[in-house]
């Protein structure tokens, strides 16, 4: 296919996105543009419009998926996905979080926007997808770590806690604030969080002999905190 023919096809598909009222056409067109429209601002703008305005969830998913194929590190795309984390139905939030993690690793705009959302939202599903996304795109970012610590104290939801713990397991060293947060949730943590903590402590060279997923890890965590204090 010549460049001229390809551009004609892209222009035609963009026009379809802007004018069609048929969800099947919109969904298929959005998928095609994910293969053809890399770095094309008209394509990105049209897909963003569909993601924000369609009332058909599968069509929205197709637009989000295509945006993640062609919009790596594009702040308009990132902002659109973050909007979906905060306002869309639960399946769409999941898809937005997964695709945000794919295109925004290390992107400071995405990290800052997610931290701001974490600070203001009271909605638990939003907190969960923010924690999931930060755990992937903001590994080692101090402000992101602090936002996850704050989420632990703000939330009483087990899955939100699990996602924050999962993010911490990817860090090289736990500071006092992380350990205090883990002690905080350790009082009421369910089995799967305790199991995650136990495996992480073992991987970090902590002697876990005699401990099970039903044990309290407070003494082990206090030991880690004391060892950190001695090395600082």
Listing DSSP states for 116-127 in one string gives HHHHH---HHHH
7/4 Cα distance (integer angstroms): 5
Mean pLDDT of the chain, nearest integer: 88
Which tokens hold the place of 6? Answer: 């390809």
The contacts of residue 172 (CB under 8 Å, 6+ apart) are: 140
Dump pLDDT digits (tens) for 103-128: 999 999 999 999 999 999 999 999 99
**Alpha-helix runs per DSSP H in the chain:** 3-19, 23-36, 41-53, 57-70, 75-87, 90-103, 108-120, 124-137, 142-154, 158-168, 176-186, 191-203, 218-231
Long-range contacts of 180-188 (CB under 8 A, 24+ apart): 180/225, 181/149, 181/152, 181/153, 182/217, 182/221, 183/217, 183/218, 183/221, 183/222, 184/152, 184/153, 185/152, 185/161, 186/216, 186/217, 186/218, 186/221
Three-state secondary structure call for residue 216: coil
Single pTM value for the model: 0.84
112-170 pLDDT, tens digit per residue, is 999 999 999 999 999 999 999 999 999 989 999 999 999 999 999 999 999 999 999 88
Q: Are 48 and 76 a contacting pair, CB within 8 Å?
A: yes
């Amino acid at each position: 296919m010549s460049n001229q023919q390809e551009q004609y096809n892209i222009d035609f598909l963009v026009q379809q996105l802007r004018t069609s009222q048929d969800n099947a056409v919109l969904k298929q067109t959005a998928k095609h543009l994910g293969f053809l429209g890399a770095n094309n601002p008209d394509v990105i703008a049209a897909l963003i419009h569909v993601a924000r305005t369609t009332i058909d969830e599968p069509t929205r998913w197709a637009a989000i998926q295509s945006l993640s194929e062609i919009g790596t590190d594009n702040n308009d795309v990132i902002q659109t996905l973050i909007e979906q984390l905060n306002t869309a139905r639960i399946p769409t939030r999941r898809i937005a979080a997964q695709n945000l993690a794919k295109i925004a690793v290390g992107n400071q705009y995405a990290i800052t926007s997610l931290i701001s959302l974490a600070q203001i939202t009271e909605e638990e599903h939003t907190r969960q997808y923010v924690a999931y996304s930060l755990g992937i795109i903001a590994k080692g970012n101090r402000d992101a770590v602090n936002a996850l610590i704050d989420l632990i104290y703000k939330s009483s939801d087990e899955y939100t806690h699990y996602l924050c713990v999962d993010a911490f397991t990817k860090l090289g060293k736990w500071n006092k604030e992380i350990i205090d947060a883990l002690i905080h949730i350790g009082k009421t943590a369910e089995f799967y969080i305790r199991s995650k903590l136990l495996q992480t402590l073992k991987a970090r060279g902590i002697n876990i002999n005699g401990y099970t997923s039903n044990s309290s890890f407070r003494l082990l965590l206090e030991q880690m905190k004391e060892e950190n204090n001695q090395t600082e």
